[in-house]
Structure 1
Amino acid sequence: MIDAAPGRHAAAMVTPFTPDGSLDLDGAQRLAVHLIDEGGLDALVLSGTTGESPTTTDAEKSALVRAVAEAVGDRASVIAGVGTNDTRHTVSLAREAESAGADALLVVAPYYSRPGPQALVHHFRTVADATGLPVLLYDIPGRTGSEMPYDVLAELAGHPRITGVKDCSYDPMKTARVLAATDLAYYAGCDEQNLSLRAIGGVGFISTVANVAPREVRAVLDAYAAGSTASATARQQALTPLIAAVMGSGVPGAVTAKALLREQGLPSGPVRAPLLGADGELVDQLVGALKSLNAGG
């Protein structure tokens, strides 16, 4: 098995667009550099859920990886989201991401088709066999409709390039069992679970909130790693109102993160339809939560 999936502290980066909705590669590079050099992160996930992957083309995904990899160089890892509901399509995207300079792949369970356990195993193994890159499985049944049972995860852990999981399963028993039985590196995919997952053996996070508060999100796990559980707990609790505003407002995180990035003067642009941008009331709530965090509560 490859030693570890790249990075511990990752943003699920938004995909910046220009005002007319085109891909903003210059903005993506500037945001990536900000998150790494100013935000203290060591990895970026591109074309995930927060990156609006269902509405970007294959060519845009490849161009985004190439641009961000060029911008961050060896200062951070670039993890490319390549999951689709078509195994052949996913393999094609994986190979394109490898050619574009990705350091690892994020592969979501196929959505809509709802493949059974052995079909899931076959899908992920096929994708992992297609490149030389480490693969993170993306377990998010609330969006895909596909459960990734414990037995599937345990079986896939034996593949030499399947190294970790982005966990949005909201199934703590399954997560604990996989952590106890395998060497898979677990990343919290839901910001409210960053500290709790680390406490039971997770290695890091892939965070939407890190788009807008990267140092504060990282500081939680830094405090835990330093042995200060009280400080880690206090920092996680201080982040909770912002996490609730960004992830619990009834709209996707791409909408809320982009709204806050605009308020911060950072590249974001509009969301693509069918998503709609945040209204004024929601923007006020988001800004208030961020200001409260920055003011120390």
Structure 2
Amino acid sequence: MTTTTATPAPPFGRALCAMITPFTDSGALDLDGAQRLADLLVTEGWDGLVLSGTTGESPTTTDAEKSALVRAVREAVGERASIVAGVGTADTRHTVELTLAAEQAGADGVLVVTPYYSRPPQDAVEEHFRTVADASGLPVVLYDIPGRTGTRIEPDTMLRLAAHPRIVAVKDCSYDFLGTQKVLSRTELAYYAGCEEHILALYAVGGTGYISTVANLVPRQLRSILDAFDAGDTARAARLQQRATELIESTMAAGLPGTVTVKALLNDLGRPAGPVRAPLRPAGRETADGLRAAYERLRAA
């Protein structure tokens, strides 16, 4: 068995935000709001922004809106941050089209989720990712989130895909820490925690960083976990991770999608967000108040 001990270099930085997609009150794409939010997040210390992912409501935005969002955010942040565009669909051909459009719009990489609903077997999953990676010059982040797609990227499939020169990273929402460590120990794939409760745990065993929904709300607080660990203060890193637990739980494990809870709090804070698109529905006042209280407690800690 081949092993590797060096942590892979972060292809898009360590701290990435899975950015929401702001909409106007009428539900249209709010490019001005997206630019202001992107600038705020990068100013707060984020290395990269992931657009049109789960948090960015990709199932309900059009192909043209996805491209326009990449162009607008690139204009706002310039080269201060990397931009990774979510392009994953249930259709390989459509995913290739979105990948080429993202490349033309100025993305630095693409996030490709496992094809959902049709439940392809592992050889078909592997071929899907290879086809997308072969289609453009952009590096690819594999998005492993079987809880949403219904299909896992099995560790052995990851090991084979790691040999592709443009498949460089994984957003890990597998909740299979043993499988993740198996791939980490045998490849140079850059692993990003896709679940905020795993930020420190994955980083401590050789992960590259994280792609965070909660980062829309508290970018400095989450980045400080990595900073403390890198400084050798692992006890402080653990305390910072623990302090964030209440807000992480309120945002990501309260029975509502993270997009809904994040937009509720951002709207309450007067930041660009706007409504969610149907079939999602906005959070109620009680939920928004609870989120605001958890947010204020973390900010004061």
TM-score under structure 1 normalisation? 0.98
Please give the residue correspondences for 1:167-186 in structure 2 after superposition, counting only pairs within 5 Å: 167-186=172-191
Q: Partners in 2 of 1:4 and 1:288 — Cα distance?
A: 34
2:145 match: 140
1:278 aligns with 2:283: yes
Q: Partners in 2 of 1:262 and 1:218 — Cα distance?
A: 23
2:12 match: 6
Please give the residue correspondences for 1:211-290 in structure 2 after superposition, counting only pairs within 5 Å: 211-290=216-295
Measured after TM superposition, the shift of residue 149 of structure 1 is: 0.6
1:80 match: 85
Q: What SS class does the counterpart of residue 33 from structure 1 fall into?
A: helix
Conserved? CA contact 1:4–1:163, under 8 Å: no
1:113 match: 118
Gaps of 5+ in 2: 1-7
Measured after TM superposition, the shift of residue 7 of structure 1 is: 1.6
Structure 1 outlier segments of 4+, above 6 Å: none
Identity percentage over the alignment? 62
1:67 aligns with 2:88: no
CA displacement 1:224-257 (0-9 Å, x = unmatched): 0111001100101110000000001100000011
Gaps of 5+ in 1: none
CA displacement 1:151-175 (0-9 Å, x = unmatched): 1100000000000100000011110
Q: What SS class does the counterpart of residue 186 from structure 1 fall into?
A: strand
2:5 match: none
Conserved? CA contact 1:191–1:243, under 8 Å: yes
Conserved? CA contact 1:5–1:135, under 8 Å: no
Pairs aligned (count): 294
Q: Partners in 2 of 1:191 and 1:260 — Cα distance?
A: 17
| Cα RMSD after superposing both structures | 1.0
1:28 to 3, 27, 34: 34
Measured after TM superposition, the shift of residue 276 of structure 1 is: 0.5
Range moving further from structure 2, 261-270 or 154-163: 261-270
Measured after TM superposition, the shift of residue 5 of structure 1 is: 2.3
Q: Partners in 2 of 1:160 and 1:268 — Cα distance?
A: 37
Q: What SS class does the counterpart of residue 75 from structure 1 fall into?
A: coil
1:15 to 14, 21, 24: 21
Measured after TM superposition, the shift of residue 6 of structure 1 is: 1.3
